[in-house]
Amino acid sequence: MKVILLGPPGAGKGTIAKALTEYDGSVQISTGDILRAAIAAGTELGKQAEAAMKAGNLVTDDLIMGIMEERLREDDCQQGYLLDGFPRTIPQAEALRTLLSRLGESLDAVLELDIPRDVIIDRLTTRRTCTNCGEIYNIKYKRPKVDGICDVCGGTEIVQRDDETEEAIENRLEVYNEQTAPLVDFYRDEGLLVSVPTSEREPVMQALLARIGG
């Protein structure tokens, strides 16, 4: 399947994307993960993205489209993909439309996780990430089995992301409302929108599969 995951930071896009990759072998493409990996590796791309990301602002559309043009041409995308964190602006959505028509591909659906703001803020302020493998924990809802040690990789640095301070979170939500929320109408007009008020796996999967006929 070729699906865009839309929703504010902390809505659970990554978790749902992972569940969907298990369903049919589509790949998850997270622009946030690609950018964080570039920063960790100290590449030119990482250097260009770092300041904006740290403040919770978007990186430029040009930079993102460069990444995605390259990524969507890779072989593993044949089976389908779940776009997690992209597109994030109307210009990105328009550029994606052009790119897909050039590749002769089309989207199956745009899945919006429509989660209330208070739930989002609670989730984001309690979220912690393993600096080594990226696994996500939550100090209230999902602690590692052994305190301070990553279940997946054994890493011992489980920390709050730079953009998950209260100030950066407020900013990211504002950026979402201003720049990304307009995509809901954009994709509703294209007839692709499937909106769900939850990020619980079962109802979300059902709503999506009902639409795309899985």
The residue among 131, 130, 132 whose CA lies nearest residue 143 is 130
**Contact criterion met (CB below 8 Å) for 27 and 79:** yes
If binding means CB under 6 A, how many residues of this protein chain bind ligand ADP?
A: 19
Tell me, residue by residue from 148 to 167, as one string, x for binding to Zn ion by CB under 5 A and - for no binding: --x-xx-x------------
State how far the Cα of 209 lies from the Cα of 214, in Å rounded to an integer: 5
Adjacent-strand bridge partners of 27: 81
Is residue 144 near Zn ion by the rule CB under 5 A?
no
DSSP category for residue 57: P
Of the candidate residues 33, 50, 69, 135, the single one contacting Zn ion (CB under 5 A):
135
Tell me, residue by residue from 71 to 90, as one string, x for binding to ligand ADP by CB under 6 A and - for no binding: --------------xxxx--
Is residue 158 near ligand ADP by the rule CB under 6 A?
no
The Cβ-side half-sphere exposure at 151, using a 13 Å CA radius, reads 10
Binding window for Zn ion (CB under 5 A); candidates: 64-72, 81-89, 142-150, 163-171: 142-150
Is residue 52 near ligand ADP by the rule CB under 6 A?
yes
Is residue 56 near ligand ADP by the rule CB under 6 A?
yes
Is residue 130 near Zn ion by the rule CB under 5 A?
yes
**Contact criterion met (CB below 8 Å) for 109 and 194:** yes
